[in-house]
Structure 1
Amino acid sequence: MKVVKFGGSSLADSQHFQKVIDIIKADKSRKVVVTSAPGKRFSGDIKVTDLLISYANAVIAGNDYENIVKSIFDRYQEIGEAYSVPADVLTSIHDKLVALPNGKYANDDYLMDAFKAHGERLNAELMAACLTSQGITAKFVDPSTAGIIVTDDPGNASVEEKTYENLGRISLGSDVLVFPGFFGFTEKGDIATFARGGSDITGSILARGFHASLYENFTDVNSIYAANPNIVDDPMPIKKMTYREMRELSYAGFSVFNDEAIIPAIQGQVPINVKNTNNPTAEGTLIVPEENFEIKSPVTGITASNRFAALYLHRYLLNKQVGFTLKILQILAKYGVSYEHMPSGIDDLTIIFDKNQLDDKTIKAMCRDIQAAVQPDNLEWIDDYAIIMVVGEGMRARIGTIENIIRPLADHDIAVHMINQGASRISIMLGTQESDANEAIKQIYNHFFN
């Protein structure tokens, strides 16, 4: 049995729906389908999720939202009418959209999550009806009915372990089960959404919960590539990679998954196949457990992220200062800030942050407090900072990999501010200026792949 997930670009309109329906028809083992909300149909279009966010904001602000509701419903109506779904299906979708402002929500965060989640929820209902109209018996499954229980953390919910017990009680008959992605229900019955890649997370949860033989994740690319095609011309497609490689690469910028999305599938040891909705016969990229993985090359992929910033401190005899780091960590805790990495030397310390959790006011206050608490000889905030990840299972057994990564950068006058090899020995992290990141990726890629 396979769990199959389709992204928003694969479900943007009736033409895209037909491709998805053909994919489901082509393989009878595709028994569980996960839908995203309809995405962009063309450049400059608006995703249904973004329209729902506008709808929620209008309700919160007390503004008129009639035109927004019409724009959202028009997207579903176009698809439904193309497949001649029963009129009561579209009526139900419209009624649920109109009723959203009348719901009872614990606060505005839960209101926003309920509105956003309906992009997926309504699209799953519609997909089940469209499949049935095409001769495939399908059933919509609401997360509340399935028992997908999540934490009380709107916008950043995590799945509760009891979800898998609940899913284990669902029998898979002849029907195709259609689940909406992106959200679950709290113990109190409130809708709460996952963070980035929410529908990917739902697919991963269902793959584990139903003990799937394969989790197929359909998107709009033929495979995952060894480097970003916007940076490297015609990069090598990755045919097979491990869970660990995918996690490391996702952390630093691979956009196919975020680094948390595949954890349930990893826990269930379910292989993942990333495939293209527009070219479903292409092999795609297979993501598998590390056990018995056949290594073909030292490096599998190279990526970078510019979402980082760094705080550099210099103080002579820093390594002799008892409690120096503790004082800094207490200040970070005071401002609710976590750090990503903290490479250090005998007189130097660099703390790397995810910029998404910081604003100018917090940075200034935090730096002021650190200066007062530990009195460094030099304190510098570095906003122009990027992290490059070079990842490959083959790096563990290969001597000289770091030299082969650094050499092409030195040959092209690209400065490296930080080097860190992970404990798993399958990744090497480099800190560079943001302005050097793309050129660094090109040079490392050329060295290993060309």
Structure 2
Amino acid sequence: MPVHVIRLGGNNINQPEIIQSLLVILKEIEQEHLLVISASEDIQQVLVSGLELICASSQTYSGLLNQLREEAQKVAQSNQLQSLPVFEQNLLPLERLLQGIQYTGDYSLALRDQVLSYAEIITTALLQDILNHHNQETSLLYPQDLGLVVSAEYGNASILRSPSIENIRNRNWDRITLIPGSFGRTSEGKIARVGERAADYTAAALASILEVDQLELWEISKSFKTADDEIIPHSAYIENLTYAEASELAYFHHSSIHPRIVEPLIEQHIPIQVFELSEGKKILKTTINSTQKQGSQNIKSVAHSDDIAILKLNGPGVGFKPGILSIVTTAFAQHQINIRSVITAQTSINIIINRNDIAKAEKIRQQLDLSSVNQIEFVSNISLIAIVGHGMQTNHGISAQLFSAVAKHAINVLLSGSGASDLVSYLIVDDADKHKAIQEIHKIFFNI
């Protein structure tokens, strides 16, 4: 029988209605199902912040463990559980790691990845506790025991398909196997993460290795819609997307999937199906294919991201002076600061980064020798808005429609960009103008 590969959102462990639907679905299945679990956002945040506090001597390892137990108790209460044996069992090796970090006051990138992998491990352990409570038999398989081999690029590793194939294809699967996503083991035997909350990338790699008919995503936190439904309550589900469109929307945090999800699927053209779980059924909402459907609408969605800031390097000759951008980008890469985009002019270099990297970027910037730069500033409290869909360069007037939507309502555009890709045009506005801009852009392209 064919194996089914599913990525299940870890935030659902606190959603009893979704858990009840999951239990009904799992009870009825016959084929082997691999459920790759993403981290609970709350658990991951506790681990990320706690790790830094321990190194700064602002928190003890026992205090961090207590915080994790508090998060686990919330899950227990919402699911009416009296005990969490699988969770407690998986907390023991994490405790030893945290003890060592507190003793030394520091950690390597490899050790950081090993600690943060417990965001997925703990989430998966809690899900197994829930399923065990309901007499649903499952097995928990860690990626390193699965034989998932990754590169030694800590924090942003790549899954190495060829070394992983023999380990994974020759395995006998249980009916339901739970796999914590987002990490694997390097050839040297160390844990390396493939990204933040990147369980879908792991699931896609497994789907490719096992040559499944489709990869299924169950209950992602944000569905694919024509706009954020908190801003446009009547936004519609997008029935069909291409790989490229889905990746672009993920980049803008429009949907809670990892942008690298399509990488392992491209060669085999494996489709992705996105399901919501309700009343004991899985309901198909979006299908993601490798190619564009003929006659489909060009603009698929109005996406946005608030998690951005601009580093502006100003000076009369910054666009002429060689090496300035190289110095900054090299330093940022060494400190794991992601550069989301760069827009340049002769008098200014604008580097778009994640908003929570501002403090780190400022510290690094002070250590750099940037000749020809006479003014440096950070701009935050801004939003990145994009229209996404194939045909930006072949359909005349799309950019004009985009800018007319904001111009009519006196919305100031701080930066704009198009042409780098055939499927996205974007602009940056003040946070205060975000809602109005999205509403007017959505109205023009979707007539609602």
Verify same fold: TM over 0.5: yes
Alignment of 1:82-161 (within 5 A): 91=85, 93-103=87-97, 107=107, 109-124=109-124, 127=127, 138-161=138-161
Contact (CA 8 Å) 2:223, 2:256: kept in 1 or not?
Answer: no
Q: 1:206 to 1:380 in 2, by over 3 A?
A: same
Tell me how far apart the structure 2 counterparts of residues 361 and 221 of structure 1 sit (CA, whole Å).
32
Q: Secondary structure at the match of 1:238?
A: coil
Q: 1:294 to 1:2 in 2, by over 3 A?
A: farther
Tell me how far apart the structure 2 counterparts of residues 150 and 239 of structure 1 sit (CA, whole Å).
33
Residue matched to 1:354: 353
Residue matched to 2:211: 211
Residue matched to 1:258: 258
Q: Summarize deviations over 1:112-148 as a string: whole Å, max 9, x none.
A: 5434433433554565676678676643322122111
Return 124-133 or 158-167, whichever deviates more: 124-133
Q: Which amino acid aligns with 2:92?
A: V
Contact (CA 8 Å) 2:239, 2:285: kept in 1 or not?
Answer: yes
Tell me how far apart the structure 2 counterparts of residues 390 and 132 of structure 1 sit (CA, whole Å).
44
Residue matched to 2:190: 190
Q: Summarize deviations over 1:248-307 as a string: whole Å, max 9, x none.
A: 2222231422323443334543211222234644321111112x5234222101112231
1:392 maps to 2:389: yes
Q: Which amino acid aligns with 1:148?
A: L
Residue matched to 1:249: 249
Tell me how far apart the structure 1 counterparts of residues 70 and 372 of structure 2 sit (CA, whole Å).
56
Q: Secondary structure at the match of 1:5?
A: strand
Alignment of 1:41-440 (within 5 A): 47-52=42-47, 61=57, 62=60, 64-65=62-63, 67-68=66-67, 70-71=69-70, 74=73, 91=85, 93-103=87-97, 107=107, 109-124=109-124, 127=127, 138-171=138-171, 175-219=175-219, 223-266=223-266, 268-278=268-278, 280-290=281-291, 293-306=293-306, 307-311=308-312, 313=314, 315=316, 321=320, 324-334=321-331, 339-344=339-344, 347-355=346-354, 356-359=356-359, 361-362=362-363, 365=366, 369-370=369-370, 373-374=371-372, 382-440=379-437
Contact (CA 8 Å) 1:51, 1:68: kept in 2 or not?
Answer: yes
Runs of 5+ consecutive residues of structure 2 not aligned to the other structure: none
Contact (CA 8 Å) 1:395, 1:427: kept in 2 or not?
Answer: yes
Contact (CA 8 Å) 1:308, 1:387: kept in 2 or not?
Answer: no
Task: Tell me how far 1:229 sits from its aligned partner.
Answer: 1.3
Aligned residues: CA RMSD: 3.8
Task: Tell me how far 1:332 sits from its aligned partner.
Answer: 4.5
Task: Tell me how far 1:394 sits from its aligned partner.
Answer: 4.3
| TM-score, normalised via structure 1 length | 0.79
Q: 1:283 to 1:349 in 2, by over 3 A?
A: same
Q: Secondary structure at the match of 1:204?
A: helix
- Counterpart pick for 1:34 among 29, 33, 36: 36
Q: Secondary structure at the match of 1:429?
A: strand
Q: 1:229 to 1:181 in 2, by over 3 A?
A: same
Tell me how far apart the structure 1 counterparts of residues 378 and 116 of structure 2 sit (CA, whole Å).
36
Q: Summarize deviations over 1:372-428 as a string: whole Å, max 9, x none.
A: x2267x876544543322111244542211111111211111233443323441211
Q: 1:119 to 1:296 in 2, by over 3 A?
A: same
Contact (CA 8 Å) 2:182, 2:193: kept in 1 or not?
Answer: yes
Q: Which amino acid aligns with 2:180?
A: P
Q: Which amino acid aligns with 2:351?
A: I
Task: Tell me how far 1:348 sits from its aligned partner.
Answer: 4.5
Bigger CA radius of gyration: 1
Q: Which amino acid aligns with 2:283?
A: A
Tell me how far apart the structure 2 counterparts of residues 334 and 56 of structure 1 sit (CA, whole Å).
23
Contact (CA 8 Å) 2:392, 2:425: kept in 1 or not?
Answer: no
Q: 1:362 to 1:222 in 2, by over 3 A?
A: closer
Tell me how far apart the structure 2 counterparts of residues 126 and 340 of structure 1 sit (CA, whole Å).
34
Return 393-402 or 109-118, whichever deviates more: 109-118
Q: Secondary structure at the match of 2:200?
A: helix
Task: Tell me how far 1:362 sits from its aligned partner.
Answer: 3.6
Q: 1:133 to 1:269 in 2, by over 3 A?
A: farther
Q: Secondary structure at the match of 2:148?
A: coil
Tell me how far apart the structure 2 counterparts of residues 215 and 275 of structure 1 sit (CA, whole Å).
11
Q: 1:135 to 1:114 in 2, by over 3 A?
A: same
Q: Summarize deviations over 1:22-55 as a string: whole Å, max 9, x none.
A: 233445456211123556xxxxxxx344455577
Return 273-282 or 205-214, whichever deviates more: 273-282
Contact (CA 8 Å) 1:150, 1:158: kept in 2 or not?
Answer: yes
Task: Tell me how far 1:441 sits from its aligned partner.
Answer: 1.6
Tell me how far apart the structure 1 counterparts of residues 207 and 363 of structure 2 sit (CA, whole Å).
40
Q: 1:128 to 1:172 in 2, by over 3 A?
A: farther
Q: Which amino acid aligns with 1:159?
A: I
Return 356-365 or 130-139, whichever deviates more: 130-139
Task: Tell me how far 1:111 sits from its aligned partner.
Answer: 4.6
Contact (CA 8 Å) 2:114, 2:192: kept in 1 or not?
Answer: yes
Tell me how far apart the structure 1 counterparts of residues 222 and 94 of structure 2 sit (CA, whole Å).
38
Q: Secondary structure at the match of 1:224?
A: coil
Contact (CA 8 Å) 1:3, 1:31: kept in 2 or not?
Answer: yes
Q: Which amino acid aligns with 1:156?
A: N
Q: Which amino acid aligns with 2:11?
A: S
| TM-score, normalised via structure 2 length | 0.79
